[in-house]
Amino acid sequence: MKTSETFDALLNNLKVGETATTVAARRDEIAKVLNKNFRSKDGCTDYKLMVGSFGRHTAIKGVSDLDMIFILPPRVRSNYDGERGPRRMLERVKDALTDRYPNTDIRVDQCVVRVQFTFNAFKFEVQPAFENADGSFEYPDTKAEGWKATKPREEITATKECNDRTSTNMRHLARMARAWKNENGVSMGGLLIDTLVYNFFAQTDDYNSAGTGSFDRMARDFFKFFKDEPEQDYYLALGSRQRVHVKAKFQSKAKKAYNRCVEAIDLGGKSSANKKWREVFGTSIPLAKSASEASRSFRDTEEFIENDFPVDVSETVSIDCEVTQNGFRPTWLRAMRRDRMLLKADKSLKFKVTSCSVAEPYSLKWKVLNRGPEAERRDMVRGQIVDSSGRGTRVERSDFKGEHVVECYVVKNGIVVARDRIDVPISNTSVRREPGS
């Protein structure tokens, strides 16, 4: 496929699409409820502002966290002063929404009222706020027991100005960065992504008028910029210049993405180039079938988590593999790889979650994908989405040679919020399911 065809398809597949209609309906209904409560107005959908990725128009398919400001009437401001004022305001909003949605999980979460819709997996974070004369807002913070300032309109304006200056490429790249984040399990907020994309375009004008035929090089250069960023605790957000905190280091995964971009570009128009792009951006990259693939003799049984759940990575999970053999002390796979030790045949493999930032309850899903000529010859590519063998574990056994992959997905409220993968390079062997697992 041509580069332009690949990235045209990627951008089209990342569109929010029909989800936008559902989001708008939920947004307007919430506004009606709160306008009835605070202004005694029936059916009024005014006094609202979508912020966050959706408000900056950088969201992608699968977006689950939706940020909404409800603009409060100034006349009630004095009623919510004092230490208990922020809590009482948020409780009032929660109670009003609970009356409208009695079977929905609605709760106060420090600065917002979180409304978790289960039918379509959306989570609205409703932030009641007073608007100031300069267009900024003051919102309640129960932890600080006071009201704090936020400037989302300045962030929206900065996004639009950069997008106009770059012939819409700012929003294109921001969406591509989100696809990378979701595919590779990078815990980053949307405002941080948009700020880094904004900073990238601030230091180069090479792609201000680039078409999708140049997006391979734009992606490469963006990830080079990304990987070379110094480690720091926060950035100053685009437009507002307010602090946006870094949840987890991203440089090493950006470096992997950069290397994959370089490899994909070197492959040119070969069908294998899109496989490499897919490692960066996920299944929204189309695959071009080669002649050998069209006549293959094995079943392509790989499944993709995106087909079962929306993916919106906001947390972290890490997995490792305990390798054991009778008569030998267990060894961790990541340590083996670091020490360049070979993983050979007839080993018991217990994949484990070693850390997870997601609050329980949640469920785990796994994928064990066998790669290489031996897997294809035996028709044992596998790759189905499966459950855990036990609490936080997946038990397998090495069986035949290949460069194999195991992935773990954390699903909470019907959304994949964290994922990790580990490469399993087996000499003389691969992985097969333990009997009874």
End-to-end CA, the chain? 41
342 and 331 both lie in a single domain: yes
**Domain stops at, among 125, 150, 175:** 150
Q: Residue 14 falls within a domain, yes or no?
A: no
119 and 160 both lie in a single domain: no
Instruction: Report CA-CA distances (Å) from 40 to 29, 32, 37, 69, 75.
Output: 15, 10, 6, 19, 13
329 and 425 both lie in a single domain: yes
51 and 74 both lie in a single domain: yes
Written as tens digits, the pLDDT of the chain (437 aa) is 899 999 999 999 999 987 889 999 999 999 999 999 999 999 999 999 999 999 999 999 988 889 999 999 999 999 999 999 999 999 999 999 999 999 999 999 999 999 998 766 789 999 999 999 999 999 999 999 999 999 999 999 999 999 999 999 999 999 999 999 999 999 999 999 999 999 999 999 999 999 999 999 999 999 999 999 999 999 999 999 999 999 999 999 999 999 999 999 999 878 889 999 999 999 999 987 654 555 567 788 899 999 999 999 999 999 999 998 766 688 899 998 888 887 776 678 899 999 999 999 999 999 999 887 777 888 888 899 999 999 999 998 777 666 789 999 999 989 999 999 998 877 765 555 555 55
113 and 232 both lie in a single domain: no
Secondary element (H or E) of residue 59: none
Q: How many domains does the chain have?
A: 3
Using alpha carbons, select from 47, 30, 245, 242 the residue that is nearest to residue 152: 242
Q: Residue 12 falls within a domain, yes or no?
A: no
Q: Residue 8 falls within a domain, yes or no?
A: no
Question: Are the C-beta atoms of residues 249 and 242 closer than 8 Å to each other?
Answer: no
**Domain stops at, among 104, 127, 150:** 150
Using alpha carbons, select from 67, 60, 56 the residue that is nearest to residue 159: 56
Please, which residues bridge with residue 66 across strands?
124
319 and 379 both lie in a single domain: yes
CATH number, domain of 140, equals: 3.30.460.90
Domain containing 316 equals 298-433
196 and 325 both lie in a single domain: no
Tell me, what DSSP letter sits at residue 307?
G
Q: Residue 236 falls within a domain, yes or no?
A: yes
125 and 175 both lie in a single domain: no
Secondary element (H or E) of residue 364: strand 363-369
> Where do the H-state alpha helices sit in 119-227?
152-165, 169-184, 190-202, 215-227
**Amino acid identity, residue 350?**
K
136 and 179 both lie in a single domain: no
CATH number, domain of 365, equals: 2.60.40
- For residues 240 and 148, what is the distance between their CA atoms, to the nearest angstrom? 14
The answer to whether the pTM exceeds 0.75 is yes
Backbone φ and ψ for 298, nearest 5 degrees, come out as: -105, 160
Question: Are the C-beta atoms of residues 283 and 365 closer than 8 Å to each other?
Answer: no
123 and 247 both lie in a single domain: no
Q: Which two tokens stand for residue 279?
A: 């490692």
Query: What is the longest distance spanned by two Cα atoms in the chain?
Result: 76
Q: What is the pLDDT of residues 281-290, one digit of tens each?
A: 999 999 876 5
**Domain stops at, among 123, 150, 177:** 150
Q: Residue 345 falls within a domain, yes or no?
A: yes
